Chain A
């Protein structure tokens, strides 16, 4: 390892944080906040630099009325805990004076396409990076920087389309369908955190300050896993599916979504793939069905997952699937998953938001913890321990800041720094 140049300051008392002493400026309309949240959880001091009164993203819909009377964006509340806020009019004389001063105190900056145009971003970057050449300047754009595409207009659905994911979801008799979450923004935002840290790590080892830019489109292409290779190698374009889908290696359409007593589960009981694991899973399912008196000999009439799986006809498949469907319909999601865990059956409940929030396994792992916000009058459960680090656990997030909540503290610090700098010169 090379020697470390310019180690950042140590944190004070209290639990040790991996990124204590690292300062991040976040100028965000959405995606940047997702990355900022990750760095804040890891212990960085994340300062949101907002326009006077707060950034527009605070009020974006969908929003909720809070006990203190404010109406706040749910996305904003989700990804802005654990941060500080500095309100600064970057176009004013004061803003132009303070921006380089703030930038000098920072290690990492995160911006996004929702807050700035390319021109605005570049103007701010030029000033900040001239003031602090060691900065890691991190940007999130639909397609990245440096080519005509940097100006193509796009939102989340368009990026899901151009990332290649959209065309692979949904029933064939309807248009392709996206994931009903802003996944391009979320993937792009979280990618920014790891990429910014990589560049910062390199800087600590003598590397330069530099720009890092994220392409949300490329982030989505990474969610395909093997689609492009399937085309390259086999010349096959995958076909989308809804509840039923044609798997690449099979000649028949497979049901992947099954109705149960209180919703849906996903299971691919027959058809092979995943080797012995799927064979054992099927055997365990058949044994359970037998306990309920379902012993149709079709279930065991052939090796449904072994070497002959590829020879199953659609008619055979539909017949055995009907028997299995009849069984699954009598069971709840909870009962199915409990048995799956006990007997290693490869199935999973298709959880809704409430299921995810109330999930016993995640609860027992301690993933969720309430974030108490006295100002807003809320104590909401957040997923907080997205990773468990033995020496430097993630920081429990403080409530999301009010606009300019840390103005006084940060301005006083900048004033002290300015005085010290003048003192140093004379």
Chain B
């Protein structure tokens, strides 16, 4: 069960579920750690219940949502609420370097598997708890998901047009931000443990980590009294900064021009297919003042272009440009393909799918997605026998008692 890579030999007991926690432990499993994910039929990872489901048919092992966050992990099925669950969980905690969870604060402790409990059997363990609001403060017991987190942390309010209500950003934004911070804290704790032998408890709240992305705006508010608000795609620093229509249904291109050279290159290119209006040839100051007419005039020029051809032409001219890619475009994107972002993995119920790999590349010790996400409890017997050294009759005993469900 030991892999290759940065974390070869590292052992992780993973109670985490939904997105933020499993995305952190995916950084470990995709880099060689042995990550054992603990679920049960009573308490499966909640994103198993959210689609998209293979062939549109719901099923505990059919969710692509779940699959993408749980590559390279082993899955065991243990009812944590069962009085005999400790017979599996405590030996696993003794084995592990790291435990991770994303239950609401206090839930795991109620079952007897909180940090203090795990420390009794493994004083050097590092435990990372990821939750939406954190373990302290008036909202610590409040359930929530990423949709609430991104509203509380300010991402939702910063998205959209100033003359309309805020637009919902896709996703659950704080679920994507906090793993970057959580992984850094976790690896730092590993380094500390290597030096001192000391484990520790790490608490990370998605909203806390998310809020760090608004630090400049919070400093600005304190220094100037001015509150930054959503402003569509505008950036007053740029000569051109917007999203413009292209040929095709609901097709667009994002263009940024930060220098005179980029502005001129962009205009020259666009005017090959039609003469631009006078405002586009006005002095820079006037163009900045009359941003909307400028953007409308640019939009009339871009509208005849195929978005991908225009992106290529603008890139060649040194102008930052990008097509807002759709889900279908992402899989076909030459950059992501050349970069090797997608890993095709085979799953017993879902067949072959492209999984997302990490955003970083280690030159010498590459990440490797070794297997598709586990079916619920797929590796229970192997983990109990190989890691805990249990005999088959002991495993059957636990199963009969209802521990391994």
Contacts and interface: CB of A to CB of B under 8 A. Distances in A.
B191 interface: yes
A148 B211 CA distance: 35
A56 B327 CA distance: 37
B49 A275 contact: yes
Contacts of A154: 256, 320, 322
Contacts of B160: 169-171, 177, 242
Nearest to B307: A161
A123 interface: no
Interface string A226-241: 1111111110111011
A42 B208 contact: no
A7 B215 CA distance: 34
Given A256-B168, A362-B208, A364-B136, A180 B228 contact: yes
B385 interface: no
A165 to B, nearest CB: 6
A78 B228 CA distance: 15
Contacts of B167: 169-171, 177, 240-243, 257
Interface string B120-159: 0000000000000110111100111111110111111111
A135 to B, nearest CB: 12
Nearest to B68: A229
B151 A348 contact: yes
Contacts of B253: 161
Interface stretch (A86-94, A388-396, A416-424): A388-396
Interface string A154-194: 11011111111111111110111111110100111011111
Interface in B169-226: 169-173, 175-177, 180-185, 187-192, 194-195, 198-205, 207-209, 211-224
Interface string B328-366: 111101111011010000000010011010111111110
A214 B341 CA distance: 12
B34 interface: no
Given A213-B360, A218-B359, A340 B223 contact: no
Chain A contact surface mostly: mixed
Given A61-B236, A225-B68, A383-B212, 8 more contacts: A77-B219, A162-B322, A201-B190, A226-B65, A233-B54, A234-B51, A341-B139, A351-B151
Contact of B320 (A38, A158, A195): A158
B47 to A, nearest CB: 8
A122 B228 CA distance: 37
A415 interface: no
B184 A194 contact: yes
Contacts of B144: 346, 348
B397 interface: no
A387 B151 CA distance: 20
Interface stretch (A96-104, A295-303, A316-324, A352-360): A352-360
Given A143-B339, A356-B214, A389 B200 contact: yes
B3 interface: no
Contact of B171 (A190, A193, A225, A233): A225
Contacts of A228: 68, 327, 330-331, 354, 356
A18 B184 CA distance: 11
A226 B68 contact: yes
15 contacts: A78-B219, A144-B339, A153-B321, A158-B254, A164-B330, A195-B362, A210-B364, A216-B359, A221-B356, A232-B52, A265-B151, A346-B148, A356-B211, A357-B222, A364-B137
Interface stretch (B87-95, B106-114, B242-250): B242-250
A151 B360 CA distance: 17
B376 to A, nearest CB: 17
Interface stretch (A46-54, A285-293, A374-382, A406-414): A374-382
A347 interface: yes
Interface in B350-405: 350, 353-354, 356, 358-365
